[in-house]
Amino acid sequence: MTVRVRIAPSPTGSVHLGLCRTALFNWAFARGRKGQFLLRIEDTDTERNTQESLDAILEGLKWLGLDWDEGPDVGGPHEPYFQSQRRASYDEVLERLFAQGLVYRDFSTPEQQEAWRAEQEARKQRVAYRGDDRDLDPAEAARRAEGGEPFAVRFRIPDGATEFTDLIRGEVSIPHDEVDDWVLVRRGGGMPTYNFTVVCDDLTMGITHVFRGEEHLVNTPKQLLLYAALGAEAPAFGHLPLLLGKDRRKLSKRSGDTSLGDYRAKGFPRAAIQNFLALQGWALDGETEVFSLEQLVAAFEPGAVSKAGAVFDPDKFLWLAGEYLRKESPAELAENCLPFVLEAGLAGEEDLGARWDWFVRACAAVQERLSLYGDAPAWLRPYFVGAADLEYDEKALKGACKNADRVAHLTAFASWLEGRPVEEAAPDQAAAAKAWLADEGIKVGALFQPLRCALTGQPGGPDLFEIIALLGREEALARITGAAAGVLASD
């Protein structure tokens, strides 16, 4: 049997990392078994749906490197892939359920529901809901409905318990007296609800496996019971451990950034996000931390997914981002840093295009100091601003001023530099400079520390002669003499 899995997000907010990880595991499972992965939009909550959210989901998942064989944008044999447009098929199923007496009309009002809830609350002991109208004569119920009295449709939960084998957790058993007679169709003939539509669609779309978050675990009996009511074989379920925040609760805005967009905006490499997400609840071999999507696909096993929730560790994520970023070629890196440099207003696109090779070289110079593309502007700033706008870091200034003879050394170095061949490569120049320093009896640090400060104003950074090459000799000399006469002139 061909594996068919899906991700079924509701377009009601930002693209949560939990959604991304669930999508990633589903996708990896499908790809690893030569199966199909579909995208379906669960937009049955018309109050909360937004177009922006829908767009963000489609764009975000694509950006993450996932692709689907069927979906709202690519079509497929089971169109439409929006639940809001599948109403007719749900009505059909509903009729069958009515005919079999498996669902009933509940005429209770919102006020009655609220009262019931309050009573449960007060009793401190929640009992599953069994509507008063559960045992109403179906003929009478139909009559009242006919008469225009609003009702919701509820599922008649039988006695007993649901037992199933979770792909990740093993045997799970949930007693039915914990399961509400849940609502399939909202009062007043509203849109069918999630638990109903999800089953209908998974069934007609031939879904074979469902991997979803653990918060859905207690929903499973409702759905399993519905499959049984429809005389259908249910897909296999696997409940993924939750992504947790520092507070050990479900990852939410309170505990930091949760949406894919947040991390993209900071400049996390795509591959790092994929890799890190895969690491939350799963491990390739227990040793290898950095691995590709291909490796994930080849090795992913639902049975190997951990059962316990995973606390999201921003530090490790950042480290992983750096691992990927530093592996990139200078050309790739420059391409990826470009949007952030533009965003920071360091330069215009045309300007950079005109001196692209220079930009690539500049990115390469700071590469090993970056973890995120978004770190680039701060490191690159000195190479874009004029000497007048250069900011001198306090630590850099302090370090430079520790050398009493800094002005004399800088002045001497400026003369030396002017006498060097213009085309000299940075490493050669560095070697020549060190030899010259030795001749002069100047300690390397006594010049280099003030020199770095004069050149970039930063306490750390790339090789000094690479910096000079990046700035150009004229600009470098101007900064050296300028600092010697200015910020570094006195303590």
- Tell me the catalytic residues: 253
Q: Which long-range contacts (CB under 8 A, 24 or more apart) does 169-172 make?
A: 169/217, 169/238, 169/239, 169/307, 172/217, 172/220
Q: SS3 for 51?
A: helix
Least separation, in Å, of the C-beta of 421 and RNA?
Answer: 18
Q: How many CB atoms lie within 10 A of CB 153?
A: 22
Q: Does the protein bind RNA through residue 102 (CB under 7 A)?
A: no
∠ CA 181-183-184 to the nearest 5 degrees? 120
Site string for RNA, 187-216 (x = CB under 7 A): xx-xx-xxx------------------xxx
Least separation, in Å, of the C-beta of 412 and RNA?
Answer: 17
Q: Which of 110, 138, 472, 486 binds RNA (CB under 7 A)?
A: 110
Name which of residues 47 to 86 contact RNA (CB under 7 A).
48
Q: Which of 4, 86, 452, 479 binds RNA (CB under 7 A)?
A: 452
Q: Does the protein bind RNA through residue 291 (CB under 7 A)?
A: no
3-state helix, strand, coil in the chain (%, to 5): 55, 10, 35
Q: For residue 174, give the nearest of 236, 210, 223 by alpha carbon.
A: 223
What's the half-sphere exposure (Cβ side, CA atoms, 13 Å) at 62? 11
**Size of residue set near RNA by CB under 7 A:** 94
Q: Does the protein bind RNA through residue 176 (CB under 7 A)?
A: no
The two structure tokens encoding residue 95: 């009729």
Spatial separation of the C-alpha atoms in residues 163 and 152, rounded to whole Å? 28
Q: Which position has the token pair 């590709």?
A: 292
φ, ψ of residue 362 in degrees (nearest 5): -65, -45
Q: Does the protein bind RNA through residue 431 (CB under 7 A)?
A: no
Q: Does the protein bind RNA through residue 218 (CB under 7 A)?
A: yes
User: Residue 191 or residue 293: which is nearer to RNA going by CB?
Assistant: 191
The two structure tokens encoding residue 318: 């950042």
Q: Does the protein bind RNA through residue 392 (CB under 7 A)?
A: no
Q: Does the protein bind RNA through residue 108 (CB under 7 A)?
A: yes
Q: Does the protein bind RNA through residue 441 (CB under 7 A)?
A: no
Q: Does the protein bind RNA through residue 8 (CB under 7 A)?
A: yes
Q: Does the protein bind RNA through residue 446 (CB under 7 A)?
A: no
* Segment contacting RNA by CB under 7 A, of 27-35, 261-269, 318-326, 404-412: 318-326
User: Residue 141 or residue 244: which is nearer to RNA going by CB?
Assistant: 244
Least separation, in Å, of the C-beta of 449 and RNA?
Answer: 6
Q: Does the protein bind RNA through residue 322 (CB under 7 A)?
A: yes
- DSSP symbols for 333-362: HHHHHHHHHHHTTSS-HHHHHHTHHHHHHH
User: Residue 304 or residue 354: which is nearer to RNA going by CB?
Assistant: 304
Q: Does the protein bind RNA through residue 96 (CB under 7 A)?
A: no
Q: Which of 230, 310, 407, 412 binds RNA (CB under 7 A)?
A: 310
Q: How many CB atoms lie within 10 A of CB 402?
A: 13
Q: Does the protein bind RNA through residue 2 (CB under 7 A)?
A: no
